[in-house]
Amino acid sequence: MTYTCILVETVGDGPRKTGLIRLNRPKALNALCDPLMDELGEALAAFDADAGIGCIVLTGSEKAFCAGADIPSIKDLDFLSAHQGGLVSKNWEHVLKVKKPVLAAVAGYALGGGCELAMMCDTIYAAESAKFGQPEIKIGVIPGAGGTQRLPRWVGKAKAMDLLLTARMMDAQEALQAGLVARVFPTEGFLDEVLKVAELLNAQSAPALALMKEMVNQAFETPLTQGVQAERLAFHAMFGTHDQREGMTAFLEKRAPQWKHG
């Protein structure tokens, strides 16, 4: 498959590799347009279906992870064309359907839809250079890809309101303190650090990874009792699988487990 708005490669030496997707519209700071979102959906689905891939890293460039929705291509929409044309709803949420962990690796700007896309990933790693924000108010709109809903869940209402109403940007250290990002790495060599994290994930049992991410993401959707029940069912379902027997046996035999990913 040839892509024009993204760059796709596999990285790693182990039996399961990392699917690396780079947003690549440098002249528009990786702004999100229909062709990019369609390509991203295809690349994510292909990596998700590939048994040789353990997890996926989504990144941008040094200057910008992504500066949000492509403003020229949405500027002249009216309500009906935005609504019936499926702006955002049509092809922006592919990342939510991926069963494997998706790590956002953010350097530079992650603004508007860019910040929202990062928040759709399972976790976010930031370079010191990262700047997060929801500046939609400055262009006369509000976020449309979850910014008003996910940001308060990640950073709390007070900081989300502050960011959304003022359109100010938050640097990597503030994002770390606020809980938006998992870890911050020096800008130089930042992607290599995220790829090292991805390697750790690739070495885990695939069903455990998939259930783990699904359960954590459920915590954002369900009441506690229901979430704990779902977790217990998933936990019980793992007993009797090869990887459960092997993982526990290997621990007792003081050796590394040999996963069959089932």
Residue 262 annotated among the catalytic residues of the structure: no
Q: Which residues contact 202 (CB under 8 A, 6 or more apart)?
A: 12, 14, 16, 17, 18, 54, 55
Which parts of 98-192 are beta strand (E)? 102-106, 109-111, 123-127, 131-133, 170-171, 183-185
Q: Which residue of 39, 122, 136, 199 would you call a contact of ligand CAA, by CB under 6 A?
A: 136
Q: Least CB distance from residue 25 to ligand CAA, whole Å? A: 8
Residue 240 annotated among the catalytic residues of the structure: no
Catalytic position from the list 68, 118, 136, 147 = 136
Q: Least CB distance from residue 218 to ligand CAA, whole Å? A: 24
Q: Is 71 in the site for ligand CAA (CB under 6 A)?
A: yes
Residue 221 annotated among the catalytic residues of the structure: no
Q: Is 60 in the site for ligand CAA (CB under 6 A)?
A: no
Q: Which residue of 20, 135, 195, 206 would you call a contact of ligand CAA, by CB under 6 A?
A: 135
Q: Is 144 in the site for ligand CAA (CB under 6 A)?
A: yes
Helix, strand or coil for residue 44?
helix
Intra-chain end-to-end CA distance of the chain, in Å: 29
Residue 136 annotated among the catalytic residues of the structure: yes
Q: Is 113 in the site for ligand CAA (CB under 6 A)?
A: yes
Catalytic position from the list 69, 107, 118, 198 = 69
Which parts of 33-185 are beta strand (E)? 53-59, 64-66, 102-106, 109-111, 123-127, 131-133, 170-171, 183-185
CB 111 within 8 A of CB 139: no
Q: Least CB distance from residue 186 to ligand CAA, whole Å? A: 21
Judged by phi (left if over 0) then psi (alpha if -120 to 50, else beta), residue 164 lies in: alpha
List the one residue out of 112, 111, 114, 95 whose CA is nearest residue 57: 95
Q: Is 137 in the site for ligand CAA (CB under 6 A)?
A: no
Site size for ligand CAA (CB under 6 A): 23
Integer Rg of the chain from CA = 19
Q: Is 109 in the site for ligand CAA (CB under 6 A)?
A: yes
**Residue placing its CB nearer to ligand CAA in the complex, 29 or 107:** 29
Q: Is 39 in the site for ligand CAA (CB under 6 A)?
A: no
Q: Which residue of 17, 55, 59, 116 would you call a contact of ligand CAA, by CB under 6 A?
A: 116
List the one residue out of 129, 103, 85, 71 whose CA is nearest residue 197: 103
**Interacting residues toward ligand CAA by CB under 6 A:** 27-29, 31, 67-72, 88, 109, 111-113, 116, 135-136, 139, 143-145, 147
